[in-house]
Chain A
């Protein structure tokens, strides 16, 4: 079951992948050696594209209202993942 926690995890994975991607691309710019340039233009951009796709997926899920009723799910007979919800999620 997709919950709000899943959305936040998607965003977190997206951020980490973007940081890796930026690291590769910046290395290619600062040290323009053949192997680093190839890595920046291949893996760097692959990770960058992947992270943007993950973020957009997270946004789409969020806009669809996924996990909005997690808090009340146990009270209406559904087993949710609400025990995993962080404090910041509750604020949201």
Chain B
């Protein structure tokens, strides 16, 4: 028996049910070809209007929910060195540590990389369309881990706000770190970037072991030590 565990699954089932009802109504009309009387018009209004609008609404929300998940990010093969490491329970990379945190969980890619501003969700989705364009035009024929493709880089620098919305820069354990305390003002102003120290090699070691270029993951890149400064609060 199929069990519903999330709103996304419920929305998907609702969308599929609406689609099936719509298709049944339309096939009924195509097979029977009844006169365009009042009943037929109302039935067709449901089949052509109400139900498809229901499919679009619920399908859109379910689709947007799914785009937040790591599984979706990993559906482009060039992202596998990033997503496989993040999902690896034995990895000590920053991405994996954050992914094991319930607040990030399956949506860890989105939670760290989505723009943090008023229209952040929108700009993130627009950038997602750019990702798809570049994937289709530049990376589609690359190897299983993107071998042969150009090195992958972010559109813009990683902002401290992505980190400081959780790591508030006020926790005693965080301040006890001398490096943090020494450049506290610069970190808060954004003059010193978190990723200057906690760099790509510590966040996504399997991918950055090759400078961000698509290569198969390195077996020991995510072992303890790769994320030397990774486990602070």
Contacts and interface: CB of A to CB of B under 8 A. Distances in A.
Contact of B48 (A44, A52, A88, A92): A52
Interface string B114-157: 00000000000000110110011000000000000000000000
B72 A34 contact: yes
A88 B33 contact: yes
Contacts of A51: 48, 52
A29 B44 contact: no
Interface string B8-33: 00001001100100110010011001
Nearest to B23: A22
A4 B83 CA distance: 58
Q: Which DSSP category, helix, strand, loop or mixed, fits chain A's interface?
A: helix
Contacts of B16: 26, 29-30
Interface string B39-71: 001001101110011011001101100110000
Contacts of B30: 12, 15
Interface string A50-83: 0110010001001000000000000000000000
Nearest to A62: B36
A29 B63 contact: yes
B52 A21 contact: yes
Contacts of A7: 36
A45 B47 CA distance: 15
Interface residues of A, number: 36
Nearest to A44: B56
Contacts of A52: 48-49, 52-53
B59 A40 contact: yes
Interface residues on B, range: 35 or more
B49 A88 contact: no
B59 A28 contact: yes
A11 B44 contact: yes
Contacts of A3: none
Nearest to B63: A37
Contacts of B231: none
A86 B37 CA distance: 16
A37 B67 contact: yes
Given A32-B63, A62-B36, A15 B72 contact: no
B182 interface: no
B209 interface: no
Contact of B132 (A30, A34, A55, A86): A34
Given A19-B23, A34-B132, A14 B35 contact: no
11 contacts: A18-B47, A22-B52, A25-B52, A28-B63, A33-B75, A34-B132, A44-B56, A55-B48, A62-B41, A91-B35, A92-B37
